Structure formats: C-alpha cells, structure tokens
Amino acid sequence: MQIGGDFKGEIFTKDTIVINEGASVTAQIEADTIVISGRVEGNLFARRRVIMHPPAVFKGTVTSPSLRIDEGVVFEGASYMPKS
C-alpha cells in the first residue's frame, strides 16, 4: 500500500506500507514494514522494520524490532525495540 497525499485515521495491514515524499499522514499505523519519505505524525507499530528516508519528518512513537533513520530525516519522539 502507498500513500501519496493527505490521510488521517488508522491503518492496519499485514503487508508493507509506503508513505511517499509529499504525503502528510496523521495516524496510528500497524504493518509488517513501514517506509516513510513524507510527513508522519502518530504511533507506528511494525512487526519487522521501519525505514525513514529523507526528507521524512516524523513525530510520535515507533515500536519495531528494527529501525533505520537515514541522515537528513527529522525524528521527534521515542522508539521502542522489543525482541522479535
């Protein structure tokens, strides 16, 4: 699933979700893998991994066994990395 525009609400999927550059999302997201290049505010729960590429801006909490934040990403919040 990909999001390329504005979205508010909740997202639950067993697959990968990609938030494209230019997208603005305010949501609780639960997915297998979450890839962010846009603006996201909310709580993320990923079963496998979260990847953030610039120019991503994230505000919230990430819970995932694997978290990758590339240089140039704005991360404002907390991360929790439980054992998988």
Q: Kindly tell me if the per-residue pLDDT of 10 is higher than 90.
A: yes
32: alpha, beta or left, given left = phi > 0 and alpha = psi -120 to 50? alpha
Which two three-digit tokens encode residue 84? 């998988």
53-83 confidence digits (pLDDT tens): 999 999 999 999 999 999 999 999 999 998 7
Q: Considering the entire predicted model, what is its pTM?
A: 0.95
Q: What does the pLDDT read at residue 82?
A: 86
Average pLDDT, rounded, for the chain: 96
- Which amino acid makes up residue 41? E
19-49 confidence digits (pLDDT tens): 999 999 999 999 999 999 999 999 999 999 9
